Every structure is written in C-alpha cells, then in structure tokens.
Structure 1
Amino acid sequence: MEAKIAAKIGWVKLSEHRKKIVRDLSNNLKIPTEISKSTGLSKSEVSRTLRALKDAGIVVCHNEESYRGRLYGLTDLGKEILKYIE
C-alpha cells in the first residue's frame, strides 16, 4: 500500500464524521440533506466534512455548478479507503 493512501485512510479513521459520510456514500450519489438524515449529522457538519473530503480527493461533487441539490459520490480513492474502514 502506498504511503499516500495509508495516510488518507488514517485521516478518515481519525474522524467519526468522515467515516460516517464515506460509508454513507458507498453505494449511492447523495445530496447533503440526505447524508444529514442518514448519518444523524447536522447539515453544517455534513457541509464542512464534505468540503474537507473533497479537498482530500475522497469525494467528488458531480454538479458543482448547482447551488442546490449538489450530488456527491466517492472517487476511486474514496472507494479504496472504504475497504479499510468498513
């Protein structure tokens, strides 16, 4: 395993919020409101965490130009990380 991937796995594992969101996106594209409902996290916490995960290359927004209804999913890196946190 590459050190870069190992570091990202460790970073995700350090936060329950990051783990919840990565797990929640494992099978579907979701909007932040859906993530909030299924994880029990507040909408503001979901937004902050999604931004951090996106900056880390773990999630991607598929319709960045939309103000509302942004769809998020896992990147290939996110899918790889998911294997180690389930």
Structure 2
Amino acid sequence: MTADGDFLELVAYVKASNHRKNIIEYLNYGLKTPKEIGVALNVRTNHISNLLADLRKHNLVVCSTPNVRKGRLYELTENGINVLEYLE
C-alpha cells in the first residue's frame, strides 16, 4: 500500500498516543460504547469520550448512534481501518 502525506499524518497522529492506538485496535472488534472501551482499556470514560471526539474529527471513528444520549456506539471508519492495517 502506498501512503500519501495525509494518510501518514493520520498514522502519526494515532501512533503519538497509546490511548488513541488502543482505541483504534479495540474498535476493530466491532461497535463499542465509551464505557466498554474505558473498562477494557482501564481508562476513565470521560477521557475516552474526549479521545473519541478527537478521533471523530480526524475521520477515524464514527458514532453510529448520534441521537442517543447515553450508550452511544462507535465504530471505525474506512480511514480508521486503513490506519489500523498500516500499523499492524
């Protein structure tokens, strides 16, 4: 796979934080709530929510249930999947 500059910036963005990298890896297993991610990664839910918001801004994850107030489900976007594959 050839990687252009924008893609490599996304890879670098994810690699710069173990939490971001771990979230991307965990979402590879399917739809997850921030609480599920936090419990699995031993990170507070409010921190997970902030990280997910940043990952969403970079088009790496998407909220599949945006109208739900609690228990929102997140999954990887195509970009997120590509970054994960590149990192493996």
* TM-score tier after normalising by the smaller chain length: over 0.9
Other-structure match for 1:68: 70
TM-score normalised to the size of structure 2?
0.94
Q: Any unmatched runs of 5+ in structure 2?
A: none
Aligned partner of 2:71: which letter?
G
Segments of 4+ moved more than 4 angstroms: none
Please tell me whether residue 34 in structure 1 is matched to residue 69 in structure 2: no
- CA shift, 1:85, in A, is 2.4
Q: Any unmatched runs of 5+ in structure 1?
A: none
CA distance in 2, matches of 1:3, 1:69: 35
CA distance in 2, matches of 1:25, 1:85: 14
RMSD of equivalent CA atoms: 0.8
Higher relative contact order (CA 8 A, sep 6+): 1
Count of aligned positions: 86
What percent identity do the matched residue pairs reach? 34
Cα deviation code 1:28-78 (max 9, x no counterpart)? 100011000111111111011000000100000001011011000000000
- Residue 73 of structure 1 aligns to a residue in which SS? strand
TM-score normalised to the size of structure 1?
0.96
